[in-house]
């Protein structure tokens, strides 16, 4: 008897859509629990090579290697947090200068509107008060939600190192659990999926870290060049906010413009900030992202934007950050499951070939040949899924 149940196309499509909707709904109602776990999963993938280095090169026991890797990870974040705290405390002391210089620019704008649109200052103030009347109430609600979100963030910052330690500690245990869920004849496919997920996510996260450092260095150098105060602080903040896709750089730009008012009310400083931000973004989008952040799993821009919007609607900034890794994981799975392969192709970035026209390369949109799915081949040691993986092996050090 054939164990594979044959279903019509519409039934398969319905089941796939129901599965995706169910996963999204579960993620939404359990986001307070799942977000720290998923963030820890990403950090565990990032720290796995560090753990392997401590075990293979320094010959440390598995528990100590995991503990040392997590401690180094936490110390790096604490050092960055302390440095930013000192810088931000100095920045707060300049709020009086910011307010004074902001009023100078505001008066200049009001004078321009009065001379060119014949609106008096009192009329402009009336329009502003009317426009911001509802915004004040919304602003109070936003402040309250921000404080709650900050409290949740502090809790997550405590849980993430613990979760990361436990995921790395019980890594083999979790692998054996997955092997028990899958039939033995599919173990090779399972190992291939897990290996590709680890390689893809690790390359993506490492690329993001390198991109963040380079963005911070370029922004800091540019702000120093125009004589902007707190150039180092703003450069680091810009690099960190750039991790939030699409909108992070906007907040970083606004913050940099605000910080430019701590010096002089000269408009050229603000123009310099805008120009440097645009130039850095052009370098980032056209050079850094394609070369450094390019993941082993290519995802097209349309799916990326939709995923980021959905992630932001479900879980805010954390959801936006997790959107692309989750989509990458889903694509790896879809590409290797025959019934889900069309969905993996839909998520992929199979750009058309190019042709040269008058020494200009243009995309060949009428190319009908489909590109094949690229599978990642990584020279890594994958554990064998057998009962003896975690049992009856006294020489193992990764328990």
Helix, strand and coil percent figures for the chain, each rounded to 5? 75, 0, 20
Going by C-beta distance under 8 Å and a sequence separation of 6 or more, which residues neighbour residue 15?
A: 7
Does the reported pTM lie above 0.75?
no
* pLDDT at 233 exceeding the cut of 60: yes
Q: What confidence score (pLDDT) does residue 359 get? A: 56
The count of other CB atoms within 10 Å of the CB of residue 134 is 9
Q: What confidence score (pLDDT) does residue 69 get? A: 94
Q: What confidence score (pLDDT) does residue 366 get? A: 46
Could you read off the pLDDT of 17-70 as tens digits, one per residue? Answer: 888 888 888 888 888 888 889 989 999 998 999 999 999 988 899 999 999 999
* pLDDT at 3 exceeding the cut of 70: no
| Alpha helix segments (H runs only) across 226-340 | 231-241, 248-260, 267-283, 301-336
Stronger pLDDT, 130 or 269, i.e. the higher one = 269
Q: What confidence score (pLDDT) does residue 251 get? A: 82
Q: How many angstroms separate the Cα of 103 from the Cα of each of 111, 191, 376?
A: 12, 62, 57
Nearest to 70, CA basis, from 144, 2, 169:
169
Q: What confidence score (pLDDT) does residue 153 get? A: 63
Could you read off the pLDDT of 200-215 as tens digits, one per residue? Answer: 888 888 888 888 899 9
Q: What confidence score (pLDDT) does residue 367 get? A: 45
Length of the chain, in residues: 399
DSSP state of 395: T
């Amino acid at each position: 008897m054939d164990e594979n149940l044959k279903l019509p196309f519409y039934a398969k499509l319905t089941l796939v859509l129901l599965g995706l909707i169910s996963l999204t709904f579960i993620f939404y109602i359990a986001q307070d629990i799942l977000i720290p776990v998923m963030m820890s999963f990403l950090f565990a993938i990032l720290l796995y090579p560090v753990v392997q280095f401590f075990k293979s090169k320094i010959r440390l026991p598995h528990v100590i290697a995991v503990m040392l890797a997590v401690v180094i990870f936490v110390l790096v974040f604490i050092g960055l947090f302390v440095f930013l705290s000192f810088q931000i405390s100095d920045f707060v002391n300049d709020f009086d200068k910011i307010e004074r210089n902001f009023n100078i620019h505001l008066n200049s704008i009001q004078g321009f509107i009065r001379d060119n649109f014949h609106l008096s200052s009192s009329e402009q103030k009336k329009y502003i008060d009317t426009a911001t009347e509802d915004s004040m109430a919304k602003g109070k609600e936003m402040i309250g939600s921000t404080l709650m979100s900050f409290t949740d963030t502090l809790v997550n910052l405590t849980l993430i190192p613990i979760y990361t330690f436990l995921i790395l500690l019980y890594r083999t245990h979790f692998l054996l659990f997955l092997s028990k869920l899958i039939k033995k004849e599919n173990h090779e496919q399972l190992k291939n999926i897990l290996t590709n997920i680890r390689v893809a996510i690790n390359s993506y996260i490492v690329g993001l870290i390198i991109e963040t450092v380079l963005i911070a260095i370029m922004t800091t150098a540019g702000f120093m060049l125009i004589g902007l105060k707190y150039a180092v602080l703003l450069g680091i903040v810009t690099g960190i906010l750039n991790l939030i896709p699409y909108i992070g750089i906007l907040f970083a730009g606004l913050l940099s413009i605000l910080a430019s008012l701590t010096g002089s009310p000269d408009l050229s400083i603000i123009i310099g900030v805008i120009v440097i931000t645009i130039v850095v973004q052009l370098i980032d989008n056209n050079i850094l992202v394609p070369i450094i952040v390019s993941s082993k799993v290519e995802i097209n821009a349309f799916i990326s934007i939709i995923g980021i919007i959905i992630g932001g609607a479900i879980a805010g900034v954390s959801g936006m950050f997790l959107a692309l890794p989750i989509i990458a994981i889903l694509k790896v799975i879809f590409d290797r499951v025959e019934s889900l392969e069309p969905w993996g192709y839909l998520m992929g970035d199979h750009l058309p070939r190019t042709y040269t026209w008058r020494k200009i390369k243009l995309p060949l949109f009428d190319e009908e040949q489909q590109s094949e799915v690229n599978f990642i081949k990584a020279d890594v040691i994958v554990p064998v899924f057998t009962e003896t993986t975690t049992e009856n092996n006294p020489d193992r050090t990764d328990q």
